Structure 1
Amino acid sequence: MSDSTHTGQVSDALKQSLSCLPGGLPDAMVERILRCVHYEPVIGIMGKSGAGKSSLCNTLFSPPPASVDAVRGCTRRVNRYHVRRGSHTLYIADFPGIAETPELDRQYRWLYRAWSSKLDLIVWGLKADERAWKDDLRCYRELLNAGAEPERFLFVLTQADKMEPCREWDNSNHQPSANQSENLAIKTELAMTLFAAVHPVIAVSATENYNLERWAEALIQALPLNSCSAVSRHLNTGLRTERVQNTAREGFVSIAGTIFDEAASVVQTSGKLVRQLQRLRQRFLSLIHVVWHLLF
């Protein structure tokens, strides 16, 4: 069954559940719900050149949206890719990496500032084995000074398999050794402190498929409520864990609750009608919870 068929059926069911509301309120509420369903998020990928930003992006979403070059930075401008699943579209803004040359950095920092307010979330890749993050810090602080909101940034330690002592990486189980794990924990704590990160910083390896499920869960939790369900739709199937889906579903139910409350606020209420609206709200949100998987 197609997405449009599912959406049509859900739309009819929602209108029926709201049919006791006056005037055009049911139609207006369902229209707002559907606008949220078809919202097209934009995620920015930023950080230092060679940090594995594009590789991480390709591992998260299917089909892989970004080109990758093992020798030189591939991205010289903002590449805007789209990932499409059925009628849903996600945009990835893949930014050029900083710290290649001073001349390019001046251009790139301008791009970062110009785009920062247009993004639902900014994923910032920090190389796990990097000794100095001064360029990342300088660029990040410039964005904050220009008005960017700290909660819109999700920092991630990339290329965890290269953390010293890199020769100890457990190739059979695709995970770090005890020594590497200890060093990754130290670097994670350092990143949290230096960047005053709002969201958890998690160490991952795209090539080794290490910690990606945990990081996908952090990604969905960091997203604004209006985009977490839409983004969850585009994750690779193996990354749509139960926790990812529960977080996205509850976020969407919360939005539906706000839509209901704003619509109900225009209804002239008495004590009896208030109680009826409360029961209707509970039934409406229960229905949203049940049909979420048909919408996303």
Structure 2
Amino acid sequence: MSKQEGINTINKAMAALPTRLSDTILKHIHLLTEYEPVIGIMGKTGAGKSSLCNALFAGEVSPVSDVAACTREPLRFRLQVGDHYMTIVDLPGVGESGARDTEYAALYREQLPRLDLVLWLIKADDRALAVDEHFYHQVIGEAYRHKVLFVISQSDKAEPTSGGGPLSMAQKQNISRKICLLHELFQPAHPVCAVSVRLQWGLRMMAERMIKCLPREATSPVVSQLQSSFRTSVVREQARSDFGETVGAVLDSISAFPLIPAPVRAVIQAVRTTVVSVARAVWDFFF
């Protein structure tokens, strides 16, 4: 099924509306289907940012930033699957250079408003978290804590290391303690995830949690970028529901426009439930 068929089906559900108005609504819905999410990923050198992105996302990667550009500008990579795009912003990890951290604080304050989500990677065996904690509370603060998802990376390196096999019970217990510690230090808005790319452990749960943390307009385009094994029924239903809600929000915002006559507003409100339900039903046409 094509995107055009999806648009036509939604259009039919709005048959009672004046054509000019339904055309305006369809333009807004079309923009929603082309939304390009921006996800920041941060962590100290060796935290495994690239390997996590490669494990999660299926998109064809192309660098956007000029590497020779100003060092304060983080590297940006654009991912493409079909006609859907997403940008990953590689943010520098804090705590490696005191002189740089002040510079990074300014960079983060500039970047945060533009990001849909930040994946903050902390290695399972990293014990030096004081700088991270300070940076989180001083720079991320209350305003943006809802945008941060903490991820304990390289869980296979948690003590006692098991020589390359699956995670031992003792390792899992230590990872649980690490999760509790991060909750204590950072008081994050979202539950902390733990993954091991090497063992393919925890990635599915992390993908599901990431989709729940994203703003509604970003979930479907991000789902379209995920490796097929992570496009679980939980992930797809979340995205489908969010798409319906964003379409409903389009109708609400147009209905609230002061120049809309009362009888037309009543028709918008009358068709809203049907349009949202149809949008959910045709989600697969778009994503």
1:209 aligns with 2:203: no
Deviations 1:190-217 (A, max 9, x none): 1112111111101101121111000000
- 1:260/1:21 CA distance change after superposition, 3 Å: same
Give 2:118's aligned amino acid.
I
- C-alpha distance in structure 2 between counterparts of 1:184 and 1:108, whole Å: 29
Match of 2:89, SS state, is strand
- C-alpha distance in structure 2 between counterparts of 1:160 and 1:214, whole Å: 14
Corresponding residue for residue 157 of structure 1: 152
Matching residue within 140, 164, 167 for 2:162: 167
Task: Check whether the contact 2:112–2:144 (CA below 8 A) recurs between aligned residues.
Answer: no
What stretches of structure 2 of length at least 5 have no aligned partner?
A: 64-70
1:136 aligns with 2:136: no
With structure 1 as the length reference, what TM-score do the two structures score? 0.86
**Greater RCO (Cα-Cα under 8 Å, separation 6 or more):** 2
Deviations 1:209-265 (A, max 9, x none): 111000000000000011011111101111111101111111111111112233344
Report percent identity of matched pairs.
35
Matching residue within 249, 255, 270 for 1:258: 249
- 1:165/1:103 CA distance change after superposition, 3 Å: same
Task: Check whether the contact 1:54–1:94 (CA below 8 A) recurs between aligned residues.
Answer: no
- C-alpha distance in structure 1 between counterparts of 2:279 and 2:100, whole Å: 48
Moved more, 209-218 or 175-184: 175-184
Give 1:166's aligned amino acid.
T
1:35 positional shift: 0.6
Matching residue within 264, 268, 279 for 2:262: 268
Task: Check whether the contact 1:123–1:155 (CA below 8 A) recurs between aligned residues.
Answer: yes
Matching residue within 15, 18, 40 for 1:19: 15
- C-alpha distance in structure 2 between counterparts of 1:88 and 1:66, whole Å: 14
Task: Check whether the contact 2:248–2:272 (CA below 8 A) recurs between aligned residues.
Answer: yes
Deviations 1:77-108 (A, max 9, x none): 61100100111110000112223232333333
1:36 aligns with 2:32: yes
Corresponding residue for residue 176 of structure 2: 185
- C-alpha distance in structure 1 between counterparts of 2:176 and 2:109, whole Å: 31
1:91 aligns with 2:82: no
Task: Check whether the contact 1:204–1:211 (CA below 8 A) recurs between aligned residues.
Answer: yes
How well do the aligned residues superpose, as a CA RMSD in angstroms? Answer: 2.4
Corresponding residue for residue 229 of structure 1: 220
Matching residue within 236, 244, 252 for 2:235: 244
1:278 positional shift: 5.4
Matching residue within 48, 51, 66 for 1:55: 51
Task: Check whether the contact 1:43–1:122 (CA below 8 A) recurs between aligned residues.
Answer: yes
For these two proteins, the number of residue pairs brought into alignment is 277
Give 2:278's aligned amino acid.
L
With structure 2 as the length reference, what TM-score do the two structures score? 0.88
